[in-house]
Amino acid sequence: MTTLSFDSTLDPILSRRAEIQKIASSSVKRRKTYSKIGIAVCLLCLIVACIPLLAIIGYTVAKGLPAWTSVFFTKNMLPEGIPNGGLYNAIIGTLIIDAIAIAITVPFGILGGLFLAESDGPIAGAVRFSADVLTGVPSITIGIFGYIIWVKNFGYSGYAGALAIGIIMLPVIMRAAETALRGVPVNLYEAGLALGARKATVARKVTLPVALPGLITGVLLAVARGAGETAPLIFTIFGNQFLQTNPSKPMEALPIAIYSYSSQPYNDLIQIAWGGALLLMAVILVLNIGARLVSARLRRERR
C-alpha cells in the first residue's frame, strides 16, 4: 500500500528506503543467527562458570561433613599416624585472634568512617585512597608487614596475627561505615545540631544508631574477609600443634591448619583438612549471607 504506484527509484529518499529495506531483510536471517550464537555462547559461559563454583562447594561439603565428629571439635591437632586428632586448638586460636582483631578495628574503623563521612577534603581523599588500595594489596605482603613490625621485635604471637588480620579488616569496615553514615538523612543530623547538641553527641545519639544496620553489614563482611585469610597468619602466628590461649605466644588457626594438612600424605589429616575447610567456608558464607540480610532489611526500611 505504501509503495506508491510510480517508479520509486526516481525519488532519492524512496530509492534509498527501498535499498535499505532490501539490505535489512536480506541480512536479517544472518543477523539473528549471529545473535542466537552470541547469546548461546554467553549462556554457555554462565554454565562453565557455575560448574567449578558448584563443584568446590559440593566437594567441600561431601568431604568435610564426615570429618565433623565430636573429636574434630574437641581434640587438639595430633601428629600424623596418631588417631583421634581434631582441630580444637585451631578453632580456639582463630576465635581469639579474630576477636582481638575485631576489638581493635571496629571502634577504629567506625571513627574512620565518621571522619570520611563528615569530611571531603584532600586528607579524606588520601584516607579513602589508602583504604581502597589496602583492600587490594596482596594479603601476603600484609603478613610480611606484621612480621617486620611485630615478629622481629616480639616474636611470633597471636597479637601479631590479630594485627595483620586487623589491617585487612580495617579498610573494609571503614568504607562500609562511611557508606552507611552517608546514607543517614541530612535533616536528622542538622536537626540534632540545630538543637544545640555537639557534633560528637549527634554522632553518638543520632547518626550512629540510624546507621547501625549498615555498620553491622560492614563488620560482618570485614570479619568474613579476615577470617579466611591464610597468608598473613603464616608470617605472624607461626602455627602451634598445641592449644595456646595466650595471644602473646605462637598460636594455631583454622586456615593455617587446613593449609599445612592439605599437602600431607596422610588420609586422616587430609580428612581433617576438609572438615576445617567446610567449617571455615560455612562460617564465612553465613557471615556474608547475614550481611546481605541486614542490608536487604535496611533497604526495605529506607523505602
Partner 1 sequence: MTTPSDTTQTVGLTTQEVFMAQQPGTTKVMGLEDVTVTFRGRPAVRGVSFDAYEKEVTALIGPSGSGKTTLLRALNRMHDTERTAAVTGRIMLGDTNVNDKSTDPTLLRSRVGMVFQRPNPFPTMSIYDNAVAGLRFNGVRKKSLLDEAAESALVAAALWDSVRERLKVSASTLSGGEQQRLCIARALAVEPEVLLMDEPTSALDPIATKRIEELIGELKDRVTIIIVTHNMQQAMRVSDRCAFLLMAEDRSGELIEYAPTSKLFSEPDDPRTLDYVNGRFG
Partner 2 sequence: MSDRVYRILLGTVGGIFVLILVGFVVAMATQGVPAFSKLGFSFLWSSNWDPTHNHFGILPFMIGTLETTAIAVVLTVPIGLGTALALAYLAPRRLRAPLGTAVELLAAVPSVVYGLWGLLVVAPFFRTQIEPGLSSVFGWTGLFGGANQGVGLLLAGVILFIMVLPTMVAISRDVLAAVPHDQVEGAMALGATRWQLLRKVVVPGARVGVLGAFTLATGRALGETVAVALVIGNSTHLATSLKANAATIPSLIVSTFGEATGTELNVLFTSALVLLVVGIGVNALARMFVRSVARSGAESVAVA
Identify the DSSP state of 67: G
Out of 76, 89, 94, 139, name the contact with partner 2 by CB under 8 A. 139
Taken in order 46, 49, 52, 58, is the CA torsion positive or negative? negative
137 binds, among partner 2, partner 1, none (CB under 5 to 8 A by kind): partner 2
Residues in region 201-230 near partner 2 by CB under 8 A? 201, 203, 221, 224-225, 227-230
3-state helix, strand, coil split of the chain in percent (to 5) is 80, 0, 20
Q: Does 186 bind partner 1 (CB under 8 A)?
A: no
Q: Does 196 bind partner 2 (CB under 8 A)?
A: no
2 binds, among partner 2, partner 1, none (CB under 5 to 8 A by kind): partner 1
30 binds, among partner 2, partner 1, none (CB under 5 to 8 A by kind): partner 1
Cα–Cα distance between 282 and 266 in angstroms, integer?
24
Evaluate whether 277 touches 64 at the Cβ level (below 8 Å). yes
The region, left, alpha or beta by phi > 0 then psi within -120 to 50, assigned to residue 196 is: left
Q: Does 198 bind partner 1 (CB under 8 A)?
A: no
- One-letter identity of residue 83: P
Taking alpha carbons only, the member of 222, 220, 232 closest to residue 259 is 232
Q: What is the secondary structure of 172-211 as a DSSP string?
A: HHHHHHHHHHHTS-HHHHHHHHHTT--HHHHIIIIIHHHT
Choose the binding region for partner 1 from 8-16, 55-63, 65-73, 113-121 (rule: CB under 8 A): 8-16
Choose the binding region for partner 1 from 3-11, 142-150, 250-258, 293-301 (rule: CB under 8 A): 3-11
Q: Does 41 bind partner 2 (CB under 8 A)?
A: yes
290 binds, among partner 2, partner 1, none (CB under 5 to 8 A by kind): none
Out of 32, 36, 198, 292, name the contact with partner 1 by CB under 8 A. 32
119 binds, among partner 2, partner 1, none (CB under 5 to 8 A by kind): partner 2
Evaluate whether 226 touches 283 at the Cβ level (below 8 Å). no
Q: Does 37 bind partner 1 (CB under 8 A)?
A: no
Q: Cell numbers at residue 37, please?
A: 550464537
Residues that bind partner 1 (CB under 8 A): 1-7, 10-13, 16-17, 19-21, 23-28, 30-32
